[in-house]
Amino acid sequence: MPDKEFYVKFWGVRGSVPVSGRSTCEYGGNTPCLEIRCGERLLMLDAGSGAFLFGESLNDQPDGEVDVLFTHCHYDHIEGAPFFAPVHRRNWKIRYWSGHMFGTMTTAEMLKTYMRRPYFPVGPEIFCADASYHDFKSGEELDLGDGIVIKTTSLNHPDGAVGYRVEFDGRSICYVTDMEHTDSEPPQGLCDLVRDAGIMIYDAMYDDDEFHKYKGFGHSTWQEGARLSDKCGVDQYVAFHHQPCHDDLMLDAVGDKLEKFRPGSLLAREGDILRPKK
């Protein structure tokens, strides 16, 4: 029998703030949002500005369900949540998940706090979909049913963040964004999360040569992502969370260097679809 459908599609690959214009068309300018398809099930990891485009792609689907997993609640990862089209449709079920604020703020409180006046005109009560909110503690394993298992770990980021490993049909996709590495060895929890992953999507906002200027900002480098991939036996490494000031020409140059540094690695681009081999 053929493998069940399992892929990741990129709807937003930038960090910090969306950008637009001719100089960013190739890689895209939306902030983080991933679609992961597991057979008949649909996941969305983060709801940055790319969530708007993802929602528009579902306009021809009158009903459905989606699990939305947040890494954390900095604006670039949640700003598209109110504009994700299925939330405004009665025949959709949406399950929201977060674990970086366990014990301090619930997932429901997070969205309600973001969507409040004077910063936003209406709250989540305007959602028409059947929405439910779920909290977990980072490090826990989530069983979403239908053979989908989500493993989690804490990431080094201001206010906390969660890294995810989605396992389905014997394969895996890891999502590790907004993670600041240190001079010491990578945390054991992170290594365990990404070990032997089919695809690892990793925070690559900076270059090793400039990293010293941004310590404390909560991000990593494309070289560190490659080193982590080598250390943990990752099959395909994808550099993600591109700086908003990096235009296509600059990212092309990073891509060329990355290919030499770890052949087969890629820079994330909006619209790309990747399927893990393992």
pLDDT digits (tens, 9 = 90+) for 171-204: 999 999 999 999 889 999 999 999 999 999 999 9
pLDDT per residue over 4-45, tens digit each? Answer: 999 999 999 999 999 999 999 999 999 999 999 999 999 999
pLDDT of 233 reads: 98
pLDDT of 2 reads: 52
| Distinct helix (H) and strand (E) counts, the chain | 6, 14
Surface-to-core class of residue 188, CB atoms within 10 Å of its CB (0-12 exposed, 13-18 middle, 19+ buried): exposed
pLDDT per residue over 47-104, tens digit each? Answer: 999 999 999 999 999 999 999 999 999 999 999 999 999 999 999 999 999 999 888 9
Closest CA to 66 of 40, 48, 90: 40
Q: Domain boundaries in the chain?
A: 6-273
Work out the average pLDDT over 117-128: 96
d(CA 189, CA 111) in angstroms, rounded, equals: 28
pLDDT per residue over 240-259, tens digit each? Answer: 999 999 999 999 999 999 99
In sign, the C-alpha dihedral spanning 32, 36, 42, 43 is negative
Work out the average pLDDT over 112-127: 96
State what percent of residues in the chain have pLDDT above 70.
99
pLDDT confidence band for 1 (50 / 70 / 90): very low
Considering only 133-137, 165-169, 214-218, which range has the smallest mean pLDDT?
Answer: 214-218
Quote the mean pLDDT of the chain.
96
pLDDT of 103 reads: 85
d(CA 174, CA 35) in angstroms, rounded, equals: 13
pLDDT of 42 reads: 98
Work out the average pLDDT over 116-144: 97
Closest CA to 28 of 257, 231, 247: 247
- Beta strand extents in the chain (DSSP E only): 6-12, 33-38, 41-45, 64-69, 92-98, 130-135, 141-145, 148-155, 161-168, 171-176, 199-203, 236-240, 266-267, 273-274
According to the CATH classification, is domain 6-273 in 3.40.50.300?
A: no
pLDDT of 3 reads: 72
pLDDT of 169 reads: 96
Q: How far is CA 26 from CA 162, 238, 252, 264, in A?
A: 28, 16, 9, 19
